[in-house]
Amino acid sequence: MSTTYSTRNAWASGLMLFAAAMLLTVGLFQILQAIAALANDDIVVRGPEYTYHFDLTTWGWVHLLIGVVLMAVGAFLFTGAAWARWAGIVIAVLAMVANFMWLPYYPLWALTLIGLNVAVIWALAVVEVEPEFTRPAP
């Protein structure tokens, strides 16, 4: 029984570490994307009008806010905050929606960030952390 618990605990710890690191990474990518949009120069290509058309400055602030929150939640996941799992799932979903709406500007980059957010959601959703009092004695 302790071998099963040890294996499960190792997976849980590894997935939480993976999710925290990915949240920090995706948050940094969002911030870099925000800087590109806020710079309002030739970095961001303006295509034809789309349904989700916003001013580039607005997009920059949206991505900056999401990036900062992603990084903060990732940092709290490293500390083991229980609420950070659910907050990580929620903010990763919001980041996916924002990147879906960003698809007309940079499709490959937006799809990459959507995929990374899917990995974060998966890692946070499948991990099964047991309360301290139910752990078996070594």
More confident residue, 41 or 86: 86
Among 75, 72, 65, which Cα is nearest to 16's?
75
What is the spatial distance between Cα 43 and Cα 59, in angstroms, rounded to a whole number? Answer: 14
pLDDT at 133 over 50: no
- Read off the pLDDT of residues 71-129 as tens digits, 9 standing for 90 and up: 999 999 988 888 999 999 999 999 999 999 888 878 898 999 999 999 999 988 887 76
What is the spatial distance between Cα 56 and Cα 96, in angstroms, rounded to a whole number? Answer: 18
For residue 135, is it left (φ>0), alpha (ψ between -120 and 50) or beta? beta
What is the spatial distance between Cα 136 and Cα 119, in angstroms, rounded to a whole number? Answer: 30
For position 26, what pLDDT does the model report?
92
What is the spatial distance between Cα 85 and Cα 23, in angstroms, rounded to a whole number? Answer: 11
User: Which positions ≥6 away from 81 have C-beta within 8 Å?
Assistant: none
Q: Where are the alpha helices (DSSP H) in 40-106?
A: 56-79, 83-101
What is the spatial distance between Cα 52 and Cα 75, in angstroms, rounded to a whole number? Answer: 31
Instruction: Calculate ∠ Cα 79-95-88, nearest 5°.
Output: 25
pLDDT at 45 over 80: no
What is the spatial distance between Cα 7 and Cα 62, in angstroms, rounded to a whole number? Answer: 40
* 8 A C-beta contact, residue 34 and residue 61: yes
Mean pLDDT of 42-69: 76
